[in-house]
Amino acid sequence: MHNVTRRDFLMSSGAAAMCALTGVRLATAASSPAASIERFSGFKMGLQSFSLRAFDFEEAVELVTDLGLHWVEFFPRHFGVTADEDEIAGRVALLKANQIEPYVHGVHRFDGNANANRRIFEFARRAGIRVLSAHPTADSFPILDELVKEFDIKIGIHNHGPGSAFDRTEEALEAVEPWDKRIGFCPDTGHGMRSGENPVEMIQRMGDRLYGLHLKDQARIARDNPPETVLGEGAIDLKGVCRALREVGFTAPISLEYELQSRNPIPGIQQGLANFEAAAHATR
């Protein structure tokens, strides 16, 4: 637990000053899911909670609410996999009170342990999670194929950049091809850029098996470990991303991810949201 409140953080972080300088508005709890969708021109803009990893679950919920967002992909340190129904119910109640939906959860490393994989799906069903972002091993696919059919919960394979499995889009496409269509993709555009791939082309190739998206930006598209930037300030073509998402019929939430300035992320997140909002409106 960190000894900082949402209000203290927002004031001390300089978020208000950043908003004044850039014209970015600081959303309030009065925002609704419908208003958010209108703000982002039809997209369900959310956040990967790893962006708020310096804060606990309750603080993260408050910050997301103040950002005016209503969809969060929680990573396990914020909302851990558990069989404790009371714990799950308590967290879900807090999210509902703030009109936040935990549509995606992860990233999970599924392996050949069928019982462990099942426990994650059981947790997801109790928590109302629709997609599990994942980095599965090869021997997990037959198990996952049965689980997505039984639970009707999708898997979104996540890339982690050079040196990892699913480094390139073709590897992910080949991996899912033999299995139930509910095994698809939840790529990270930043990791894709570090693998030398254009995010627009990634989205187009993944098509209707795209079930989630970590939206992140890098300074350039290259396999030389380019640094991360605020979304829209690097090499990503945000207008192209918006067009591609519309072309493939993507309707799931988008998870903006910002890994910089872990103790002071709000200004960067706000600017990234504003840049995406402008691109979304320009391509509506």
Q: Looking at this protein, which amino acid is placed at residue 22?
A: T
Average pLDDT over residues 223-249: 98
Q: 44: Cβ–Cβ under 8 A, 6 or more apart, which residues? A: 33, 36, 37, 70, 71, 103, 251, 252, 253, 254
Q: Which residue has the higher pLDDT, 21 or 27?
A: 27
Decide if pLDDT at 6 tops 60.
no
pLDDT band at residue 17 using 50, 70 and 90 as cut-offs: very low
* 15, pLDDT greater than 50: no
Choices 3.40.50.150, 1.20.1540.10, 3.40.50.2300, 3.20.20.150: CATH for 6-282 = 3.20.20.150
pLDDT in tens, 62-118: 999 999 999 999 999 999 999 999 999 999 999 999 999 999 999 999 999 999 999
Mean pLDDT of 216-242: 97
- Does the pLDDT of residue 284 top 50, yes or no? yes
Question: What is the DSSP secondary structure assignment for residue 72, as one 8-state letter?
Answer: E
d(CA 247, CA 203): 9
What DSSP assignment string belongs to 82-131?
---HHHHHHHHHHHHHTT-B--EEEEE---S-HHHHHHHHHHHHHHT--E
Indicate the pLDDT class of residue 256, thresholds 50, 70 and 90.
very high
pLDDT at 260 over 90: yes
Dihedral sign (CA 30, 33, 39, 44): positive
pLDDT category at 14 given cuts 50, 70, 90 is: very low
Q: Which residues pair with 82 in a beta bridge?
A: none
pLDDT digits (tens, 9 = 90+) for 122-152: 999 999 999 999 999 999 999 999 999 999 9
| CA atoms in the 13 A half-sphere facing the CB of 47 | 28
Domain boundaries, the chain: 6-282
Average pLDDT, rounded, for the chain: 91
Confidence band, pLDDT 50/70/90 cuts, at residue 31: confident
pLDDT, average across residues 251-276? 98
Report the pLDDT value the prediction gives residue 247, as an integer from 0 to 100: 98
Mean pLDDT, rounded, for 49-53: 98
Average pLDDT over residues 155-167: 95
Tell me what the mean pLDDT of segment 162-189 comes to.
96
CB 172 within 8 A of CB 157: yes
Task: Report the alpha-carbon distance of residue 269 to residue 106 in Å, rounded.
Answer: 20
CA distance 279 to 281: 5
Strand ranges of the sheet holding 254-256, from the earlier edge strand across to the other edge: 72-73, 45-48, 254-256, 214-215
| Average pLDDT for 182-208 | 98
> Which strand (E) or helix (H) includes residue 183?
strand 183-185
CA distance 15 to 20: 9
CA–CA separation, 38 vs 26, rounded Å?
16
Residue that has been written with the tokens 């989205």 in this structure: 203
Q: Quick one: pLDDT band at residue 10, thresholds 50, 70, 90?
A: very low
Query: Nearest-CA neighbor of 70 among 29, 33, 37?
Result: 33
